[in-house]
Amino acid sequence: MKLKASTLLRLKQNDLLISRDLNLVQFPKELEAIYKDQYRSGAAHEFRYRAPIILGLYSYLSLGTYQALPTAVRAEWAAFYGWVGIIITIAWLLAFIPTMNKWFDHYVGFGSMGAVALTFTLINVLDYGQNNVLFHAAMMYAVVIIYGFVGMRFYTAMIAGWCGGLIGIAVSTWLDTSIDWTFLNRTYTFSSFLGMALAYAIDRQHRENYLQNCMIELNRLELMRQAQQLSILSHQDPLTGLANRRYLDEVLEIEWNRAMRHQTPITIMMIDIDYFKLYNDSLGHLQGDQCLKRISILLSSISSRSDDLAARYGGEEFLLLFAMTNQDQALIQAQRLMELVRNIGIIHPRSNVSKHVTVSVGVATTIPHLNDNLSEFIAQADRALYIAKSNGRNQYHLTTTYHETHEVM
């Protein structure tokens, strides 16, 4: 039976449980609850296939016992012992009902308890004559099957086995029949301890396997987390958290081809922080890094759609990509960008255009065609940025493939 691994415990806790605490075949409270739920479902599913085997063994045992019985007690024995087969059949049918999975311990436990009690009682009540030893051996066989093959966990199997015997003793005493304690100690008691050892070994091994699966699952999730982190780091600029140049090139290529295929507009903005070298020289590189981070957060807020991208192009230069954005929409975004930079109000002690940090922006918009070139499109945005800077900075300049240019302060 293979259960779905839990990630509730950490690797060190798993190791500790495997090496020490599993001797009690019990997990910590939270994990035990998860394990029980999963185990009941898995055990019920397996019981669908085990029950026919148990029924087959029961039928074979019953036939042999029936033939060995004195004729006088055959019918009476069959009438009572037939209930064991009915108990097994009912438990088998219940295993096919998913809603009954959570009650697996109960219906199998009580069924096993009833089977042991019935077998125990019949041995004492009916007169088997010289075949009494054979039926004690048959009871041993049944007890071992209940402990080792039904699929109950250790404590459930132990309760079912011993309580079944106690009920058998109580009923036999109530019916005022003699109990051969010597035979019972050698058969029922011995088989119960043997069954307990089997149930304990099976339960402990199953729990060890479960914890091993938990460790494998934790390792798998950790590897996935690290792979995702590496993937993010390979696409991310470490200082600003924006896309790096490598990832930008990949996305630009994809969006360019998509715009070409569907004949939709695409816009890029090349952004440069005005007089950033002077800012660094006057306030230091730590403050310069903080300035880059604050501008990066602002750019991320502008490129919030799933198809948009904000990237660090190099140094104090950034690039914004807007898929399905035409010239009018590009102008709105450029104006919004300039306004946000003004509102953020980062003090610039040595700027020649403002008391605060400003940016110059080159905007390029196009609907790409088959013979158009992505590198040329980027170069257009770069030239637009150059014009914006040449015209005094703190402004944007927009160009389109239709050779129409617009300069806005």
pLDDT tens track, the chain, 409 positions:
555 555 555 555 555 555 556 678 887 787 788 888 888 988 899 999 989 998 888 888 888 778 877 787 788 878 888 888 899 999 999 999 999 999 999 999 999 898 888 888 877 776 555 556 667 777 788 888 888 888 888 889 899 888 988 998 898 888 888 777 877 777 888 888 888 898 888 888 888 888 878 778 778 888 888 887 777 777 888 899 999 998 999 999 999 999 999 999 999 999 999 999 999 999 999 999 999 999 999 999 998 888 899 999 989 999 999 999 999 999 999 999 999 999 999 999 999 999 999 999 999 999 999 889 999 999 999 999 999 999 999 999 998 764 343 444 4
The one-letter code for the residue type at 293 is: K
* CA-angle at 257, arms to 337 and 238, nearest 5°: 50
Query: What pLDDT, on the 0 to 100 scale, is given for residue 165?
Result: 87
Q: Is 250 exposed, middle or buried (0-12, 13-18, 19+ CB in 10 A)?
A: exposed
Query: What pLDDT, on the 0 to 100 scale, is given for residue 48?
Result: 92
Alpha helices in 236-284 (DSSP H): 245-262, 276-283
Query: What pLDDT, on the 0 to 100 scale, is given for residue 407?
Result: 41
Q: What is the three-class DSSP state of 34? A: helix
Taking the CA atoms of residue 336, residue 340, residue 341 and residue 346 in that order, the dihedral angle to the nearest 10 degrees is 170
Count the neighbouring beta carbons within 10 Å of the beta carbon of residue 62. 17
Query: What pLDDT, on the 0 to 100 scale, is given for residue 270?
Result: 96
| Extents of the domains making up the chain | 11-222, 245-408
Question: Residue 265: which of 400, 125, 404, 94 has the closest Cα?
Answer: 400
Query: What pLDDT, on the 0 to 100 scale, is given for residue 23?
Result: 75
Query: What pLDDT, on the 0 to 100 scale, is given for residue 2?
Result: 58
Q: Please say whether the beta carbons of 168 and 124 come within 8 A.
A: yes
In the numeric block, the tokens 């958290």 are attached to: 241
In the numeric block, the tokens 């007169």 are attached to: 127
Return the beta strands (E) in 219-326 as ranges: 266-273, 309-314, 317-323
Q: 29-38, long-range: CB within 8 Å, 24+ apart, which pairs?
A: 31/6, 34/6, 34/8, 35/3, 35/6, 35/207, 35/210, 37/102, 38/3, 38/4
Question: Residue 146: which of 165, 161, 134 has the closest Cα?
Answer: 161
Global confidence as pTM: 0.57
Query: What pLDDT, on the 0 to 100 scale, is given for residue 186?
Result: 78
Rounded Cα distance between 70 and 129, Å, is 8
Mutual angle of helices 29-68 and 190-235, in 10-degree steps: 140
Query: What pLDDT, on the 0 to 100 scale, is given for residue 121?
Result: 83
Tokens at 397, concatenated: 């300049």
The one-letter code for the residue type at 219 is: N
- Residues serving a catalytic function are 316
Q: Please say whether the beta carbons of 104 and 1 come within 8 A.
A: no
CATH for the stretch 245-408: 3.30.70.270
Query: What pLDDT, on the 0 to 100 scale, is given for residue 185?
Result: 79
Query: What pLDDT, on the 0 to 100 scale, is given for residue 323?
Result: 93
Contacts of 42 (CB under 8 A, 6+ apart): 1, 2, 3
For the chain, what's the residue count? 409
Q: What is the three-class DSSP state of 362? A: strand
